[in-house]
Amino acid sequence: MRAQAQAVLGRVGLNISDAIRLFLRQVVVARGLPFEVREYPNAVTQAAMLEARQARAGYDTPRRTSSISSRASAPGRSGHTVDADRKCLEILSG
């Protein structure tokens, strides 16, 4: 991949360092990535995500969840209580 990138950049008079410097400047100007990023998980990643969700769902029993919640809840910076189990489920649910 590096050789291919060097060839493309060389045709426009740039080297890898120049291209990276330009990219970083554009990140600053755009205040983020200077292009759209989409998430398209492949089949292996999708299977792993499904397995993780199923494992988490099978692990959470009402008794276990309440005991975890009582230990994992902590005041956040704004003074609100953060429920760690709920946050984990939100993340895993995507």
Would the pTM of this model clear 0.85, i.e. be above it? no
pLDDT of residue 60: 63
5-16: pLDDT as tens digits: 999 999 999 999
Q: Residue 88: which residues within 8 A CB-CB, separation 6 or more?
A: 56
pLDDT of residue 85: 62
37-84: pLDDT as tens digits: 777 778 888 888 888 888 888 776 555 545 444 444 444 444 444 556
